[in-house]
Amino acid sequence: MIQNIDQGSEQAPSFHKSPFLELGSSTRDERGRVISDLQSNSTTQWEANTIYYEFSVAVAPKLPKIPCITFDRELHQQETTAIIPLDLSPQLQSIAPATTPVISAYFLHICPQESLKTNSLATAQLFYVIRGRGKTESEYGTMEWSKGDLFTLPSCGEVIHSSSEDTAIYWVTDAALVNYLGVRPTKPRFQPCLYPGDRIFSELKQIAQEPGASKRNRIGVLFGNKATQLTCSLTHTLWALMVYLPGGTEQKPHRHNSVALDLVIDAPESAYTLVGKSLDAEGKIVNGERIYWKSGSVFVTPPGLWHSHHNDSDRDAFILPIQDAAFQSYMRTLNQRWSYTLNG
Ligand SMILES: [Fe+2]
């Protein structure tokens, strides 16, 4: 016989009699964590570090927000050879130097005729030569580079960068993610690549001159690798794009769940990115914050926020956004949204 508990039965459902609810008293702290005498009675070490959360207070934990912030070019305009972390780990409560939850980024400054060693547990490394000339030696051989070149390395041991003139390099890795996972790379996920600066700009020029290019809201060249064609990206975790924003133009708002770390390649200082939480009925950002561009500086665009790029001057502008978008694409969580159609 089936008992109908909605019709006046004074018997509680059977799960209310479950013995595990009678094991001991417990209270909850402000974060919904169970403080129970079960823990003090624990007989195994494996139970000592457990926490039991009440669902409604813990299902959407309030993590520290990723700030809208600029790392000024003065950080790499210094007199000593140094690795300069673009470190937001205190703000992110990260366990290791991190610029985003996935990415650890740095400026490298190398004085003329000096060398600098880098060593990272990253599975992907990007180097963009902001200024200078020199070479990089690693287990994959020697790479010669000059201003405007971009190159990548997979996981590897010590890397030595030597300069023949004053050099600044933007070094972006996925070490933050690797550190968070507590793992060590075991094999390279791609082969090293070099994207020479003159080739980057000839590709960009060709795209800009394609029929219908002026109707596109964005003129940019995405960097790819034969090993990562699934995600059409620089590496399996990192994504990079060279953007051309002609004078007197703007890119309408878009958003994505990846964090962007934009290096300003060359731009008038009146150019800016507008960042905000919402759009109005005309698709414009409401109460946006302006981040002004400064050549050689890096600015952070937090995930999920609408942003648009603006160049009101008569001078062309170029920026290099680097994101964890390859990892997000693979996770199927990138969630790119535009306030417009991609082809005008
Ligand atoms: Fe973006």
Domain ranges across the chain: 14-58, 70-338
Q: How much distance in Å is there from the Cα of 227 to the middle of ligand 1?
A: 24
- Compute the distance between CA of residue 92 and CA of residue 179 in angstroms, rounded to an integer: 14
**Confidence category of residue 5, pLDDT binned at 50, 70, 90:** very low
**Closest listed residue to residue 180, CA positions, set 297, 327, 4, 58:** 327
Tell me what the mean pLDDT of segment 159-182 comes to. Answer: 98
In which band, very low, low, confident or very high, does the pLDDT at 25 lie, cut at 50, 70 and 90? low
The Å distance, Cα 274 to ligand 1 centre, comes to 11
Query: Quick check: 113 pLDDT over 90?
Result: yes
In the reported structure, the alpha carbon of residue 256 is separated from the centroid of ligand 1 by a whole-number distance in angstroms of: 6
Question: In this predicted structure, what is the pLDDT of residue 271?
Answer: 98
Alpha carbon of 155 to ligand 1 centroid (Å): 27
Dist. CA 261 → ligand 1 center (Å) = 9
Residues in CB range of 186: below 8 A, 6 or more apart: none
Closest C-alpha to 300, from 64, 66, 65, 63:
66
The token duo for 202 is 């000839």
Instruction: Kindly give the distance from the C-alpha atom of residue 192 to the centroid of ligand 1, in angstroms, as a whole number.
Output: 26
Closest among 38, 59, 60, 63 to 50, alpha carbons compared: 38
Report residue 3's pLDDT band, with 50, 70 and 90 as the boundaries.
Answer: very low
Rounded distance from Cα 254 to ligand 1 centre (Å): 6
Spacing, Cα 176 to ligand 1 middle (Å): 21
State the distance from the centre of ligand 1 to the C-alpha of 67, rounded, in angstroms: 15
Residue 22: per-residue pLDDT:
54
Q: By the 8 A CB rule, do 265 and 320 touch?
A: yes
CA of 323 to the centre of ligand 1 (A): 9
Centre of ligand 1 to C-alpha 302, Å, is: 9
**Encoded tokens for 259:** 């964090």
Choose the weakest-confidence range: 47-51, 84-88, 100-104.
47-51
Read off the pLDDT of residues 299-309 as tens digits, 9 standing for 90 and up: 999 999 999 99
The three-state secondary structure class of 336 is coil
Q: What is the pLDDT of residues 51-96, one digit of tens each?
A: 999 999 999 999 999 999 999 999 999 999 999 999 999 999 998 8
The alpha carbon of 325 and the centre of ligand 1 are apart by a number of angstroms equal to: 10
Which comes out higher in pLDDT, residue 12 or 216? 216
Q: What is the pLDDT of residue 341?
A: 62
Q: Ligand 1 center to residue 285 CA distance, Å? A: 14
**Fold for domain 70-338?**
Jelly Rolls (2.60.120)
On average, the pLDDT of the chain sits at: 90
Distance 257 CA to ligand 1 centre (A): 9
DSSP of 207-264: HHTSTTGGGSS-EEEE---GGGTTTTSSSSS-EEEEEEE-TTEEEEEEE-SS-EEEEE
322: pLDDT strictly greater than 80: yes
Contacts of 169 (CB under 8 A, 6+ apart): 107, 108, 110, 127, 128, 129, 130, 132, 161
Three-class SS of residue 173?
A: strand
The set of residues, in sequence order, having a beta carbon less than 8 Å from that of 90 and lying 6+ positions away, is none
Q: For residue 273, which of 313, 247, 310, 302 has the smallest C-alpha distance?
A: 310
